[in-house]
C-alpha cells in the first residue's frame, strides 16, 4: 500500500528495538508503535508513524496519570468488553473482527488501547465532575426559570415598518377595522412573513430579539400591540395564542444538576488532560519527529516529502452536516 512512498521508516534503518519516545521515564520502541498496526511488518510512512506514536504517548500519559492521581485502574476483562463494544458499534453487519481490523489497518492492541483510554476518561469524568463546585439554590432556580421561558409557546404575526409614525398608522387602520393579514401583505418590510399575512408561526418567545420577545409576552391575545422598536424597525404585534408550560413540564432540581454536570464535563475533562499533557516529560527520537502538548501529537520530521492518509481510527464517527436555518427580521 505504501510502496510508492519516497520516505519510509525502513529507509531510516529503524529496528523494533530502537527507542521512539520516552514518556516520564518510560521508553516506547519502534516495535511498540508497529504493534498498533494490522501488519506490524508493513512499511509505514513517517507521517503515519508519527500519528501512531502520538496516540501511544497520549494513551500512556492519561492512563498513568489517572491511576496516579485518582487510583483509576481497569481489568483486562473490562478493557476487552469495551473493545468488543467498539467493534460492534463501528463494524458493518456481517464483518468479522479480523476483517474489521484489516479494513482499518489497526491491530487488536490498538483497539484495546482505544477502549482503555475511553474507559479511563469515562471514570475520570465522574471523579472530576464530583469535585466541581455545585450549583447554588439561586443558580438552580435561575435555570428553571430559563427552562420555563423556553417552554412557552406563542403564535404570533407582525407588521414591520421603518418609522414609529408608520407603525402608529398601522394601529389606527387596525382600530378602524382593517384586516391584519391584508395590512401585513401591503405594508410589511419583512417580505418573508408579509407574504404570509405577517405570520411567524408558533415558537418560544426566546427565539426572538429581546424587544420582540417581551412584546409577545406583554400583548393581550388577539389584540394588536405596538409600536415595538427593534434594530429592524417598528413592529405591530398580534399574538393569536400563548401556551404556558405546566409545572410537571419543568425540570426538577435533580434534572438541572445532572444537565449542568453533563454540560461542564467536556471542559473539565479536557482541561485536566491538557494540564497533564503539558506537565509530562516527553522526548521523541528526532528521527521520528517532535512532541507537542497542544494540540497533542508528534510532528513528523520536516524532511518528509510524501505522506499517507491519516492513521486509521477504530472509533471513527461521522459529523452530521450543519442544519440550515431560516431566520426572519425578528429572530436572533
pLDDT at 11 over 80: no
Q: How many domains does the chain contain in total?
A: 2
Please state the rounded mean pLDDT for residues 215-244: 96
Residues 107, 21: one domain? Answer: yes
Residues 104, 190: one domain? Answer: no
What DSSP assignment string belongs to 132-172? Answer: SPPPPHHHHHHHHHHHHHHH-EEEEEEEEESSHHHHHHHHH
Q: Has this prediction a pTM greater than 0.85? A: no
Q: What is the pLDDT of residue 16?
A: 87
CA 139, CA 252: separation in Å to the nearest integer?
A: 13
Assigned domain for 269 exists: yes
Residues 173, 200: one domain? Answer: yes
Residues 175, 285: one domain? Answer: no
Q: What is the pLDDT of residue 303?
A: 65
Q: Residue 276: which CATH number?
A: 1.10.4030
Q: Residue 190: which CATH number?
A: 3.10.50.40
CA 224: distance to chain centroid? Answer: 42
Q: How far is CA 168 from CA 51, 144, 175, in A?
A: 66, 37, 10
pLDDT tens-place string over residues 142-182: 999 999 999 999 999 999 999 999 999 999 999 999 999 99
Q: How far is CA 75 from CA 80, 111, 196, in A?
A: 9, 15, 63
Residues 221, 266: one domain? Answer: no
**CA nearest to 88, candidates 315, 313, 311:** 315
Give residue 293's domain range: 9-133+258-299
pLDDT at 213 over 60: yes
Assigned domain for 328 exists: no
What DSSP assignment string belongs to 198-233? Answer: TEEEEE-GGGB-HHHHHHHHHSPTTS-EEEEEETTE
Residues 126, 275: one domain? Answer: yes
Assigned domain for 252 exists: no
Assigned domain for 323 exists: no
Assigned domain for 313 exists: no
Percent of the chain at pLDDT exceeding 70: 87
Residues 125, 212: one domain? Answer: no
Lowest mean pLDDT among 44-58, 190-204, 213-227, 250-264: 250-264
**182 or 11: whose pLDDT is higher?**
182
Please state the rounded mean pLDDT for residues 94-98: 93
Assigned domain for 147 exists: no
- Reduced to 3 states (helix: H, G, I; strand: E, B; else coil), residue 280 is coil
CA 289, CA 271: separation in Å to the nearest integer?
A: 25
Find which of 39-48, 197-206, 297-306 is predicted with most confidence, using mean pLDDT.
197-206
Q: What is the mean pLDDT of the chain?
A: 87
Residues 31, 98: one domain? Answer: yes
CA 161, CA 235: separation in Å to the nearest integer?
A: 7
pLDDT tens-place string over residues 99-158: 999 999 999 999 999 999 999 999 999 899 888 778 899 999 999 999 999 999 999 999
Q: Each residue of 182-205: b (16+ CB within 10 Å) or e?
A: ebbbebbebeebbebbbbbeeeeb
pLDDT tens-place string over residues 247-261: 999 999 999 998 988
Assigned domain for 4 exists: no
Assigned domain for 284 exists: yes
Amino acid at each position: 500500500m505504501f510502496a510508492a512512498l519516497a520516505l519510509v521508516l525502513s529507509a531510516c534503518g529503524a529496528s523494533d528495538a530502537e527507542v521512539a519516545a520516552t514518556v516520564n521515564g518510560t521508553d516506547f520502541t519502534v516495535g511498540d508503535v508497529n504493534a498498533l498496526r494490522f501488519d506490524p511488518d508493513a512499511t509505514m510512512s513517517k507521517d503515519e508513524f508519527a500519528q501512531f506514536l502520538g496516540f501511544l504517548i497520549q494513551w500512556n500519559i492519561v492512563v498513568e496519570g489517572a491511576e496516579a492521581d485518582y487510583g483509576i485502574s481497569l481489568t483486562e476483562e473490562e478493557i476487552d468488553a469495551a473493545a468488543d463494544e467498539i467493534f460492534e458499534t463501528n463494524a458493518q453487519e456481517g464483518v468479522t473482527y479480523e476483517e474489521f481490523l484489516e479494513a482499518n489497518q489497526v491491530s487488536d492492541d490498538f483497539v484495546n488501547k482505544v477502549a482503555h483510554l475511553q474507559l479511563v476518561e469515562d471514570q475520570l469524568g465522574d471523579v472530576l465532575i464530583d469535585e466541581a463546585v455545585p450549583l447554588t439554590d439561586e443558580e438552580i432556580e435561575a435555570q428553571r426559570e430559563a427552562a420555563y421561558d423556553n417552554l412557552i409557546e406563542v403564535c404570533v404575526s407582525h407588521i414591520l415598518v421603518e418609522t414609529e409614525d408608520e407603525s402608529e398608522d398601522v394601529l389606527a387602520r387596525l382600530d378602524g377595522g382593517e384586516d391584519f393579514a391584508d395590512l401585513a401583505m401591503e405594508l410589511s418590510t419583512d417580505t418573508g412573513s408579509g407574504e404570509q399575512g405577517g405570520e411567524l408561526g408558533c415558537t418560544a418567545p426566546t427565539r426572538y430579539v429581546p424587544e420582540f420577545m417581551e412584546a409577545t409576552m406583554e400583548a393581550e391575545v388577539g389584540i394588536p400591540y405596538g409600536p415595538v422598536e427593534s434594530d429592524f424597525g417598528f413592529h405591530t404585534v398580534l399574538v393569536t395564542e400563548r401556551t404556558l408550560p405546566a409545572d410537571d413540564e419543568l425540570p426538577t432540581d435533580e434534572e438541572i444538576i445532572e444537565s449542568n454536570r453533563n454540560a461542564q464535563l467536556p471542559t473539565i475533562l479536557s482541561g485536566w488532560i491538557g494540564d497533564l499533557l503539558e506537565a509530562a516529560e516527553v522526548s521523541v527520537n528526532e528521527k521520528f519527529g517532535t512532541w507537542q502538548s497542544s494540540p497533542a501529537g508528534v510532528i513528523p520530521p520536516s524532511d518528509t516529502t510524501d505522506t499517507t492518509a491519516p492513521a486509521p481510527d477504530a472509533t471513527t464517527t461521522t459529523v452530521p452536516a450543519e442544519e440550515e436555518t431560516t431566520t426572519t427580521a425578528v429572530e436572533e
